[in-house]
Amino acid sequence: MKNKITPINHERVLKASDFIVSKTDASGRITYCNEIFIELSGYSEEELLGAQHNIVRHPDMPRGVFHFLWTTINEGRECFAYVKNMAKDGSYYWVFANVTPDTGPDGRPAGYFSVRRKPHPDAIAAITNIYAAMLAEEQKAGPRNAIEASLNLLHSKLEQLNLSYEEFILSI
């Protein structure tokens, strides 16, 4: 079970040369994490291994984003996303994530690889407003309809831009 951590307004920033790498099993439990992930998250390797990857989930992240991500990777496709994570001390750090399924012999995902790097500040500025609007929609809709409301808003914004999700994420 995830510990209750209170977010604080302190940003940890990745260096341009940093790459956070982790691997999970099919259910999202961490099976590998590199030193940069350990350092940035503030957790020990022992605390991370076996934990659900959402141990670093920041409450500013809309549920709809993770629903979209999990749907995409469970279909066997890679997914790119901007993610605000929360360290053990409540500080946060932004990443540009690439999550790729590790397909088993049966063709279904047996686990996932995630490589995260420092995002461009302009991308964070663009995505922060969208995530805030998605969160507001989730709160208005209530827990039962939160994800659907959040994704509807995201799809509406993408239609306005005439871009697919992937085109949008890779363009900012």
Domain presence at residue 64: yes
SS3 of residue 1 by DSSP = coil
- Asked whether 59 and 134 are in contact (CB, 8 A), the reply is no
- pLDDT (tens digit, 9 = 90+) per residue, 54-70? 999 999 999 999 999 99
Domain presence at residue 109: yes
**d(C-alpha 73, C-alpha 89), whole Å:** 29
Domain presence at residue 8: no
- pLDDT (tens digit, 9 = 90+) per residue, 114-168? 999 999 999 999 999 999 999 999 999 999 999 999 999 999 999 999 999 999 9
Instruction: Give the model's pLDDT for residue 165.
Output: 95
Domain count of the fold of the chain: 1
Q: What is the CATH number of the domain that holds 104?
A: 3.30.450.20
Domain presence at residue 10: no
Domain presence at residue 11: no
Domain presence at residue 2: no
Total H helices, total E strands in the chain: 6, 5
- pLDDT (tens digit, 9 = 90+) per residue, 1-50? 456 899 999 999 999 999 999 999 999 999 999 999 999 999 999 999 99
What residue numbers bound the domain in which 26 lies?
A: 19-171
Domain presence at residue 9: no
pTM of the predicted model as reported, rounded to 2 decimal places? 0.94
Domain presence at residue 1: no
- Asked whether 70 and 83 are in contact (CB, 8 A), the reply is no
